[in-house]
Structure 1
Amino acid sequence: MLQSMLSSLALATWQTIYMVFIATAIAIIGGLILGVLLYLSHNKQNLSIRLFNQVIGFIVNITRSIPYIILLILLYPITKIIVGTTIGTTASIVPLAIAALPFYARLTESAISEVDKGLIEAANAMGATKLQIIFKVLLPEAKTLLVDSATLTTIGLIGYSAMAGIVGGGGLGDLTYFQGYNNGNYFLLYGGVILLIVLVQLCQSYGNYLTNTKKLTSMWVLAGILVLASIAQIGYNAYQDTQNKNIITVGYAQSSEQQKVMEMAQQVAKNEYGLNVKLVSFGDYNLPNRALNNGDIDANVFQHIPFLENQIKEFGYKLTEIGKTFIYPMGVFSIKINSLKEVPMGAKVAIPNDPTNRGRALMILADAGLIQLKTRASWKATLSDITDNPYKLQIIPLQADQIPNNLSSVTLAVINNDFLPKANLTLKQALFVESKDSPFANIIVIRDNNKNNPLLRKFIQAYQSPQVKKLAEKLYPDDAAIPAW
């Protein structure tokens, strides 16, 4: 167990270094070029040059103003064009680099602006060309500020890389949050945090060293080592992709229990059907269907039919169900009261905020007699569909994985089964449980044009195997996982 966790930490550390190094290299090279151009075109009388400066400056400012998590999503089409996929560690490099490049460009422009104008005038008087002034005066004289800026950019990218987990990018941030914090694994949580701190301290210390040394030999040596390691990683990824054609990629929403179920299905597929299943975890419910529709994965296992129908209607996805997995009944939980009869007036109630689970939670509250909904309300229900709220409940939609963390702040919470272990709860402790004939059975989903793929049929058989059923019943006790096939 310890060896496995240490291995996970080592792999996540390398993934972070790999992502951040390549993104930093691209940002620094591109940022230097862009920063120099912005500096040279600043306050010029030539109308076309001034227009160039304003347009580039406007684009840079727009990019810098977009929060990284949103930029990551907006850049999906560009990421797809550049690396051929929107998921994985390599795909995460594209938004990281694009987020950092304009930031470093502005820092470069500012650093060059600090160069003594007298040196530039002297170089001009000696007949130096523009390129000579740039490479012999501006950049050398701005070296200290440029290195400080590069250090700041690198540290910022280490923080940004923590969000790579939502697209299956891996890294220390992904490991720390999803497998550490969300799953209550404190070894991975604190181990990941410590390693992130170590990386930041190493970056800062090395940056300080470079600003105080005249020779940058060590920087070129380190860069060379990282370049070779990155090339080896890219080559290994390409080699793996060509080694076995009998392979499919399956996405799922990250949680400790679901990961174990998926790994069991992966093992059965390999042992009994000779099928290699590559698993990709996502940190957001909306991403697996996008990745599937775009062809980045071959199937996903995380949703029920109403959720799929809602996504198809909203985004026009060409997706279809190919098999059922389990029904995971949701329940109403509390650590403050022991019965629904004790619900006080004005009690706070946390429910999932994604569209279908939000409506599903409202239906559960209505079945429990806490609220009333419009007659034809279904899983599409919203807070505006509540017709009677006798307890004056304050219903608070939260991200599903955050509800267990906020149990002490609310009176009641409707929790997805995947996150019960995080709160040290079982379905047996629920004050009210959704009916076992719930229509919310989870399903295996594929693209419409992939229905006849025999590899996917093998995966269904592996998932619906006795081994997976037995493990799920162990992980989800008290009928918290009911086979739906």
Structure 2
Amino acid sequence: MLQQMLFNLLLATWQTVYMVFIATVIAIVGGLILGVLLHLSYNKNNLAIRLFNTVVGFIVNVTRSIPYIILLILLYPVTKLIVGTTIGTTASIVPLAIAALPFYARLAESAIAEVDKGLIEAANSMGATKAQIIFKVLLPEAKTLLVDAATLTTIGLIGYSAMAGIVGGGGLGDLTYFQGYNDGNLFLLYGGVILLIILVQLCQSYGKFLTQTKKLISVWVLTGLLAIGSVAQIGYSTYQSAQKTNIITVGYTKSPEQDKIMHLVKQIALDKYGLDVKLISFGDYNLPNRALSDGDIDANVFQHIPFLENQIKQFGYKITSIGKTFIYPMGLFSNSIHSLNAVPVGAKVAIPNDPTNRGRALMILADAGLIKLKPGVTWKANLDDVISNPYKLQIIPLQADQVANNLNSVSLAVINNDFLPKAHLTLKQALFVEPKDSPFANIIVVRDQDQNDPLLHKFVEAYQSPKVEKLAQKLYPDDAAIAAW
């Protein structure tokens, strides 16, 4: 167990270094070029040059203004075009680099602007060309500030890389949050945090060293070593992607219990059917269907039928269900209230914020008699559909994995079953549970064109096995997981 956790920490550390190294190189090279061009084109009389500065400066400012998590999603088409996929560690490099490049460009522009104008005038008086001024005056004189900017950019990228987990990118941020914080694994949580601190301190110390030395031999040696490792990583990933025989890629949303179930299914598929299942975990409910539609994965296991129908209607995905898994009844929980009769006026209620679980949670509140919804509105309900709120409940939508974490801050919470164990709760402790004939059976979804693929149906059979049902009942006690097949 300890060996596996240490391996996971080492692997996550390398994934972070790999993502940050390549993104930093792209950001520094591209940003330096942009920074020089922005500096040279600033406040010029030539209309074309001024227009260039305005347009490029506007693009740089717009890109810098977009929060990274949003940029990550907006850049899906670009990422797909460049690396052929939107998921995985390599795919995470594209948005990282594009986010960091304009940031470094502005820092480089500012650094170059600090160069003594007298030196530039002296170089011009001696007949220096533009290229000579750039490479013999501007860059050498701005070296200290440029290195400081590169250090700051690298440290920023280490922070950005933590969000790679929502697209299965891995890294220390992903490991620390999902397997450390969400799974309650303190070794991985604190181990990941310590390693992130070490990486940042190493970057800061190395940057300071570079500002004080005239020779950059260590930069070329370090870059060479990391480049070799990155090429090996890309080569290995390419080799794995080329191995298509009896291999399928399945996506799911990450939680401690789902990790165990999916890895058992993976083992059964291999042992019984000779099927190699590659698992990709996601940190957001909207991403697995997009990845499936784009062909980045072959199937996903995370959603119920209403969610699938809503996604198909909203995005036009050509995907379909080929098998059911479990019904996970949702419940209404509280750490401060022991009966629905004791709900105070103005109580705060946390519910999941994704479209169908939000509507599902509102249905539970309505079934419990706490609110009334518009007639005929079911899982599509939103806060505007509440027509009666006698308790004046303050309904607060949160990310699904954060509802249980904030149970002590609210009076009531509608919690997805995946997050009950972390809160040390079971369905038996719920003040109210949705009916067992719920339409929210989870399903296995594939692309329409692959619905008859024998490999995918073998996966369904592996999932719908007695061993998986037994494990689910152990992980989700008190009928919190009901086999739906």
Take 2:235 and 2:483, find their aligned partners in 1: how far apart are those partners? 41
Take 1:220 and 1:359, find their aligned partners in 2: how far apart are those partners? 56
Take 1:35 and 1:391, find their aligned partners in 2: how far apart are those partners? 58
Report the equivalent of 2:168. Answer: 168
Report the equivalent of 2:137. Answer: 137
Take 2:340 and 2:364, find their aligned partners in 1: how far apart are those partners? 13
Q: Which amino acid aligns with 2:378?
A: S
1:10-56 Cα deviation digits (max 9, x unpaired): 11000000000000000000011111111111111111111111111
1:191 is paired with a residue of what secondary structure? Answer: helix
Report the equivalent of 1:336. Answer: 336
Report the equivalent of 2:196. Answer: 196
Identity across aligned pairs (percent)?
Answer: 80
Query: Does the alignment pair 1:481 with 2:481?
Result: yes
Take 2:406 and 2:349, find their aligned partners in 1: how far apart are those partners? 10
Report the equivalent of 1:23. Answer: 23
Take 2:235 and 2:386, find their aligned partners in 1: how far apart are those partners? 56
Report the equivalent of 1:187. Answer: 187
* Offset of residue 421 of structure 1: 0.9
In the TM superposition, 1:218-367 aligns within 5 A as: 218-367=218-367
In the TM superposition, 1:329-478 aligns within 5 A as: 329-478=329-478
1:64 is paired with a residue of what secondary structure? Answer: helix
* Offset of residue 244 of structure 1: 4.5
1:127-160 Cα deviation digits (max 9, x unpaired): 2211111111111111100100000000000000
Q: Which amino acid aligns with 1:313?
A: K
Take 1:164 and 1:9, find their aligned partners in 2: how far apart are those partners? 16
Report the equivalent of 1:121. Answer: 121
Take 1:394 and 1:66, find their aligned partners in 2: how far apart are those partners? 30
1:101-127 Cα deviation digits (max 9, x unpaired): 011111111111111111112212222
1:73-127 Cα deviation digits (max 9, x unpaired): 0000000000000000000000000000011111111111111111112212222
2:436 is paired with a residue of what secondary structure? Answer: coil
1:319-350 Cα deviation digits (max 9, x unpaired): 11111000000011111011112211221111
1:403 is paired with a residue of what secondary structure? Answer: helix
Q: Which amino acid aligns with 1:380?
A: K
Take 1:242 and 1:300, find their aligned partners in 2: how far apart are those partners? 21
Q: TM-score, normalised by structure 1?
A: 0.99
* Offset of residue 239 of structure 1: 1.6
* Offset of residue 243 of structure 1: 3.5
Bigger mean CA deviation after superposition, 263-272 or 127-136: 127-136
1:251 is paired with a residue of what secondary structure? Answer: strand
Q: Which amino acid aligns with 1:78?
A: V
Q: Which amino acid aligns with 2:156?
A: G
1:72 is paired with a residue of what secondary structure? Answer: helix
Take 2:153 and 2:456, find their aligned partners in 1: how far apart are those partners? 43
Tell me, which stretches of 5 or more residues in structure 2 are unaligned?
A: none
1:405 is paired with a residue of what secondary structure? Answer: helix
Report the equivalent of 1:65. Answer: 65
Take 1:377 and 1:59, find their aligned partners in 2: how far apart are those partners? 44
In the TM superposition, 1:203-218 aligns within 5 A as: 203-218=203-218
Take 1:185 and 1:42, find their aligned partners in 2: how far apart are those partners? 52
Q: Which amino acid aligns with 2:116?
A: D
Report the equivalent of 1:102. Answer: 102
Report the equivalent of 2:93. Answer: 93
* Offset of residue 359 of structure 1: 1.0
Take 1:178 and 1:132, find their aligned partners in 2: how far apart are those partners? 51
Take 2:369 and 2:58, find their aligned partners in 1: how far apart are those partners? 55
Q: Which amino acid aligns with 2:367?
A: D
Take 2:138 and 2:350, find their aligned partners in 1: how far apart are those partners? 57
Report the equivalent of 2:51. Answer: 51
Take 2:180 and 2:156, find their aligned partners in 1: how far apart are those partners? 22
* Offset of residue 258 of structure 1: 0.5
Q: TM-score, normalised by structure 2?
A: 0.99
Q: Which amino acid aligns with 2:436?
A: K
CA RMSD of aligned residues (A): 0.9
2:392 is paired with a residue of what secondary structure? Answer: coil
Take 2:5 and 2:97, find their aligned partners in 1: how far apart are those partners? 29
* Offset of residue 382 of structure 1: 1.6
1:359-388 Cα deviation digits (max 9, x unpaired): 111111111122222221211112222232
Take 1:98 and 1:396, find their aligned partners in 2: how far apart are those partners? 34
Q: How many residues align?
A: 485
Report the equivalent of 2:9. Answer: 9
Q: Which amino acid aligns with 1:101?
A: L
Take 2:60 and 2:461, find their aligned partners in 1: how far apart are those partners? 51
Q: Which amino acid aligns with 1:345?
A: V
Tell me, which stretches of 5 or more residues in structure 1 are unaligned?
A: none
Report the equivalent of 1:78. Answer: 78
2:478 is paired with a residue of what secondary structure? Answer: coil
1:234 is paired with a residue of what secondary structure? Answer: helix
Take 1:109 and 1:158, find their aligned partners in 2: how far apart are those partners? 23
Q: Which amino acid aligns with 2:209?
A: Y
1:269-291 Cα deviation digits (max 9, x unpaired): 11110111111111010111111
Take 1:370 and 1:251, find their aligned partners in 2: how far apart are those partners? 36
Take 2:21 and 2:469, find their aligned partners in 1: how far apart are those partners? 43
Take 1:316 and 1:241, find their aligned partners in 2: how far apart are those partners? 27
